[in-house]
Chains A and B, each alone.
Chain A
């Protein structure tokens, strides 16, 4: 009566074949929140794929390959480190039970502008390994995001992994309305390199930054980079941070919705940008031990 079935793919090839006719599913943690009432047809469970490889692998070119179908809790405890922005985001994702089911691929393909794991992928220039019965292709994460609930995945395709570029310093901050099990009202991932190779500190004490990347969630139809704010963050002095916090308003297009007004989203994101200064200073002082 329900017109619904679940198929389990035990190999990537089997997943390719099943996804040609069914809808891929990798964790189903969001599906269950919204209920199965409107779901019809065949669902293909990608989390049943038996993969002998670890969830995180270091590639020869220095990037890390992160499984898109492994539970994200496995990524967080992987011996092979991933950028701090991603582990931070996993730590702030839903609840421990959901982190044991949810996957990177599911979070990307769900297409939510508030997806917690997408901003870290954006600041690490992640390239997604996508496949299906018609073959494989590589898609930069920014090209995958098409709008609320929409991606550029083609019918039959699924996401197998994400390759993340190494970044010296990164982090993620989520602003939800409670401390667990809450959709982000605003989120911000960042990465940067020290401006000078030795200490990162310019003469006069201001911290110089290089290759700053900011990616904000829940402030536009997709997760977005914030180029104007990034450009303003040359150093970590108060003027720069003020300029960046002001500039970030022009990087985003928030809306009013159930959770927050556009005004608050923009205001709170500017607040998160301002919070970066102490966070960056601390990272430079203490160093990131978990960087790849």
Chain B
């Protein structure tokens, strides 16, 4: 159910077209009917099938790789190892990782060899027949590991970021209240429904890869670099893809495909299994975040002090940028005269961590919002009141960097929209209905998230438009579609910019041969960046249409024919995302190192739930998701993003934790890595807060990440209000909640809710002999 509020003061320009209407996604009918051919569905005659041989060790020297048995299997066409990769590196330096590990493996699941064979079973069998000799090395099982080795020769620190404004130490020491919250958040798996894969073909000196990608430009570079090809000889067709959430940002599958096709000169199909995806694929960075907040007695925030340590696994892909986002969002939507961030990205032999919806925001927001909620309790203030009193206002300076925040920020209205919902207003009556062991609680939390890659990055999206003589407007634009129906929104923007029916407009995304480079489907930027490029390219055509004598009032068919005949049917445009107006305390030469944003989306969420104090179980009864997205170009799609974000936030909060034992994965299937089911996701009420971002298309800005962020701290706050126990560790499993309750009531347990408590160390070491048994002897 959606409710729209009319809060906020700025007004969108009047538009009577399709912007603001919930048009169904272009592919919707084909998707639900099963007609859409995803990249992994592609099949051609004569194609081969690929398989990957992966490391069994978290950290080991490779002493031998014997491919003889695999290569002699009937049907096997190629077995490729490190020496077969022209430039065996997945990026610009060795700490980005090799395409195929040759000397050292640093993670279970790291790719060592590729096989191409006539059928998938043969490819898999041959991959299993490859014999790798290992000399195990000590395992670095996290940032605190005492292992006497490092993951890379340079050490275990992949990056650091420190920044301070004002004088945090003095401000804290003079505060009336200091709240100190030390949190951990888990490695979360994306669980896109389609696992990575696709096809590649090598033809006439050019490679074409059909493989899901959120960043075709980056993937083209990775392929060209590994195969030493000219960038123009690499084509990437990156959709339709069955979900991404960050996992297709730097996924190596396109490189594997290209390598196999290039070596065999035949089309090769590869589709990774769920187990491979879970074991070898990227995760949300697990964090330890400690936040100290200083308040005066009235509840005014004096200082924010954050320390974050992120575990990026064996190779760094997005890790340093993730930390950058954490730094910027360590002060959340709040204004404080003193702020400090001290962050580290550390290497380990755990899962490689990468981009994931929210990109460093959920981890620090969990700590920050928990600290704000606890401060409200300590100071006897309402949780909404303490937040509202400390919000960054539109046009204010950012707490940490001092840069100017866009006037479109509607943090206050978003908070008020969430708090106006009956699920918040009636929280006392809800709590009063607690029965037996089930205690009822309500929590609120909020977050902001920057839109685009940030200042100093030259973040750009492009669009190309061609009017056909038959009256169709074709637009090639990016970023790409990864399930969010961005092409439909581009059509809406084009239709209203041109003032023509949207049925005349065709939008093409996701083919690097045709779509001008437009950057990643990431950073909540597709609508804002791609939509703006579409708006601009259509604006060029519109300017021509507005010239005297061009649009004569005849049908658009005739106008189009005239445009084609007069050589005025093709247009290009680019949109460079604006940097912040005032860079504040950031040294000009270091702007890109901090990459602050001008434009932020905002979300505030209310959670009502019950906690069973005897068992620690949590049952969610409802989530209100208020979203500040500027103008929602397609409200239905915006609500869809909000609901999906909340569901993913519920998973992060309550269920999802990719676990390893000394670098060896233990949650390797969806049977023991739990994500929420339809039974676990409560009713979600999305409230679209009206606003307007002047630099965005029709006033739109990004919102797809911020909606994932407040869910976990809102759930934690609701648990706190229900029970007095304030969770510090995600996910909030029944065991952690029960341990927390039992410690609180002095039942004699130690800090059982700690992420690396003794009980859990014992648990991950224990063989599951009692519970998950060897194969059954009888029927099953």
Contact = CB atoms under 8 A, between A and B. Distances in A.
Given A106-B779, A183-B671, A258-B672, A175 B617 contact: yes
A106 B776 CA distance: 10
Interface residues of A, number: 64
A181 B773 contact: no
B2 interface: no
Interface in B589-632: 612, 614-617, 619
A59 to B, nearest CB: 24
A30 B437 contact: no
B771 A255 contact: yes
B772 interface: yes
Interface string B761-780: 01110111111111111111
A227 B759 CA distance: 28
B780 A278 contact: no
B774 A26 contact: no
A103 B679 CA distance: 23
Contact of B778 (A95, A151, A255, A272): A151
A178 B615 contact: no
Contacts of A185: 734-735
B148 interface: no
Contacts of A106: 779-780
B752 A263 contact: yes
A271 B437 contact: yes
A175 B615 contact: yes
Contacts of A28: 780
B674 interface: yes
Contacts of B256: none
Contact of B738 (A180, A181, A264): A264
Interface stretch (A49-57, A110-118, A162-170, A192-200): A110-118
A272 B738 CA distance: 13
B747 to A, nearest CB: 9
B771 A259 contact: yes
Contacts of A23: 779
Interface in B415-444: 436-437
Given A31-B780, A109-B776, A268-B615, A256 B742 contact: no
B739 interface: yes
A1 B121 contact: yes
A272 B677 contact: no
B760 to A, nearest CB: 7
Contacts of A259: 672, 771
Interface in B375-417: none
A261 B779 contact: no
Nearest to B124: A37
Nearest to A253: B770
Contact-residue size bin, chain B (C-beta under 8 Å from the other chain): 35 or more
A189 B497 CA distance: 65
B679 A178 contact: yes
A158 interface: yes
Contacts of A255: 766, 769-771
A158 B776 CA distance: 13
Interface string A239-268: 000000000000000111111110110011
Contacts of B768: 257-258
Contacts of B770: 113, 148, 220-221, 254-255, 257
B676 interface: yes
A111 B677 contact: no
B749 interface: yes
Contacts of A110: 776, 778-780
B576 interface: no
B679 A179 contact: yes
A58 B752 CA distance: 49
Contacts, number: 169
Given A114-B771, A255-B770, A256-B763, A159 B779 contact: yes
A278 B436 CA distance: 8
B739 A180 contact: no
Contacts of A278: 436
A260 B763 contact: yes
B680 interface: yes
B671 A33 contact: yes
Contacts of B742: 267
B576 to A, nearest CB: 45
Nearest to A259: B771
A25 B780 contact: yes
Contacts of B474: none
A272 B614 CA distance: 7
Contacts of B774: 148-149
B434 to A, nearest CB: 13
Given A150-B777, A178-B674, A275-B436, A218 B734 contact: no
A113 B655 CA distance: 22
B667 interface: yes
A236 B768 CA distance: 36
Given A148-B771, A181-B677, A257 B763 contact: yes
B78 interface: no
A264 to B, nearest CB: 4
Contacts of A71: none
Interface string B269-308: 0000000000000000000000000000000000000000
Contacts of A178: 654-655, 674, 676-677, 679-680
Nearest to A27: B780
B666 interface: yes
B759 A275 contact: no
Nearest to A279: B436
Nearest to B771: A257
A274 interface: yes
A271 B779 contact: no
Interface string B742-765: 100000010010000001101110
Q: Which of B121, B676, B749, B766 has the most CB of A within 10 A?
A: B766
B733 interface: yes
A109 B677 contact: no
A148 B773 contact: yes
Contacts of A1: 121
A268 B735 CA distance: 8
A239 to B, nearest CB: 17
Contact of B735 (A30, A39, A181, A260): A260
A60 B49 CA distance: 61
B437 A177 contact: no
Given A110-B778, A178-B674, A274 B773 contact: no
Interface string A56-94: 000000000000000000000000000000000000000
Contact of B763 (A29, A46, A261): A261
Given A183-B671, A259-B771, A275-B614, A24 B760 contact: no
A175 to B, nearest CB: 6
B763 A258 contact: yes
A172 B777 CA distance: 27
A184 to B, nearest CB: 9
B752 A34 contact: no
A182 interface: yes
A63 B669 CA distance: 41
Please provide the 8 A-B residue pairs with the shortest distance between their CB atoms, ordered closest to farther. Answer: A109-B778, A149-B773, A271-B614, A179-B679, A148-B773, A256-B763, A24-B779, A264-B735
27 contacts: A25-B780, A29-B780, A110-B776, A112-B776, A114-B771, A148-B771, A148-B773, A149-B777, A151-B777, A153-B778, A159-B778, A175-B617, A177-B655, A178-B679, A178-B680, A183-B671, A255-B766, A256-B762, A257-B771, A258-B666, A258-B768, A258-B771, A261-B752, A261-B762, A263-B752, A270-B614, A271-B614
Given A31-B780, A178-B674, 18 more contacts: A103-B779, A109-B776, A111-B778, A149-B775, A153-B777, A178-B680, A257-B771, A258-B666, A258-B672, A261-B759, A261-B762, A263-B739, A264-B735, A267-B742, A268-B614, A268-B616, A270-B614, A272-B615
Interface of A: 1, 23-31, 33-34, 38-39, 46, 95, 103, 105-106, 108-114, 148-151, 153, 158-159, 175, 177-183, 185-186, 218, 220-221, 254-261, 263-264, 267-268, 270-272, 274-275, 278
